[in-house]
């Protein structure tokens, strides 16, 4: 990241931008930095000024206690201010929940697109989320960052063998370094249910996308978002999973943001 802006509480946010035109800010999800969504910036930058940033507590950005979801909304306000005063937002996974909250707060946002924001669609899943929150809070309070990462990986459905393999990989140290930010994404997701009242207050177009090769509940959650927003639309991408291919997603986003 080659630029910085400062949020309302003094947190320094590292970002970079590419391309020209109206601004589009890419919002990463849990266990991610701006580098995770950077591959999407290249195709989008042919038509827009695309902004990639490290959310607070990750990568080149600093952090300021205490955390609150409102601080991350203020972070987006600072970024939007730094790149012209108005922007569209794209958020993947829990980053989508943050983008939606930012739009609902009244920030100068033109469009919002989200990909597979993982709201729970059953009582069983809501109970699992509540247990995850409890266990995550305890692990982080006790400084057990590796255990916190494991909890998140299990929540995503990763098997024990794959988790053990991840622990032995060179990427593990980096994952542990941003483990405290897992609590931030957990807070952004609320209790895990679809925040229908909040979504109903959004006054800009929202496109909610899912891959048709993802689990059915993920598509149900994406559809529920679209149905809860006054100007909401739902779309699936053929053959895509949660690890969506940038070259498949980018044309869909470009068409939406150009409206």
Helix, strand or coil, per DSSP, at residue 148: helix
CATH 3.40.50.1820 matches 3-119+194-257:
yes
Q: What confidence tens digit (pLDDT) does each residue in 34-72 have?
A: 999 999 999 999 999 999 999 999 999 999 999 999 999
What pLDDT, on a 0 to 100 scale, did the predictor assign at position 28? 98
- Give residue-wise pLDDT tens across range 150-168: 999 999 999 999 999 999 9
Peptide bond into 71 cis (omega under 30): no
DSSP state of 54: P
Tens digits of residue pLDDT in 13-37: 999 999 999 999 999 999 999 999 9
**For the segment 78-130, what is each residue's pLDDT rounded down to a tens digit?**
999 999 999 999 999 999 999 999 999 999 999 999 999 999 999 999 999 99
> What's the pLDDT score for residue 53?
98
Q: Over 90: is that where the pLDDT of 1 sits?
A: no
Q: What is the pLDDT of residue 168?
A: 94
The terminus-to-terminus CA distance of the chain in angstroms comes to 29
Q: Is 186 in contact with 132 (CB distance < 8 Å)?
A: yes
pTM for this one?
Answer: 0.97
Nearest alpha-carbon partner for 129 in 154, 161, 159:
154
What are the extents of the domains in the chain?
3-119+194-257, 123-186
Q: How far is CA 205 from CA 89, 93, 193, 242, 253, in A?
A: 11, 18, 21, 22, 12
Mean pLDDT (the chain) is 97
Q: Closest by alpha carbon to 34, among 92, 118, 97?
A: 92
């Amino acid at each position: 990241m080659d630029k910085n802006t400062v949020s309302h509480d003094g947190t320094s946010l590292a970002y970079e931008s590419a391309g020209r035109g109206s601004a589009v800010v890419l919002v990463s999800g849990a266990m991610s930095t701006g580098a995770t969504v950077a591959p999407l910036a290249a195709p989008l930058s042919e038509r827009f000024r695309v902004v990639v940033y490290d959310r607070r507590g990750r990568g080149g950005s600093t952090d300021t206690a205490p955390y609150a979801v409102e601080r991350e909304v203020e972070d987006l306000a600072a970024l939007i201010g730094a790149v012209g005063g108005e922007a569209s937002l794209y958020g993947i996974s829990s980053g989508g929940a943050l983008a939606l909250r930012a739009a609902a707060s009244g920030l100068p946002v033109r469009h919002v697109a989200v990909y597979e924001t993982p709201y729970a669609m059953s009582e069983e899943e809501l109970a699992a989320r509540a247990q995850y929150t409890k266990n995550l809070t305890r692990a982080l309070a006790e400084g057990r960052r590796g255990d916190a990462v494991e909890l998140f990986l299990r929540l995503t459905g990763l098997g024990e063998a794959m988790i053990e393999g991840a622990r032995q990989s060179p990427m593990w140290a980096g994952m542990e370094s941003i483990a405290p930010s897992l609590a931030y994404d957990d807070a952004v997701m609320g209790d895990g249910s679809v925040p229908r009242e909040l979504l109903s207050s959004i006054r800009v177009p929202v496109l909610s996308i899912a891959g048709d090769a993802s689990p059915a509940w993920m598509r149900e959650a994406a559809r529920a978002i679209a149905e809860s927003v006054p100007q909401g639309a739902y779309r699936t991408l053929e053959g895509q999973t949660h690890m969506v291919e940038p070259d498949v997603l980018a044309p869909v986003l470009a068409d939406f943001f150009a409206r």
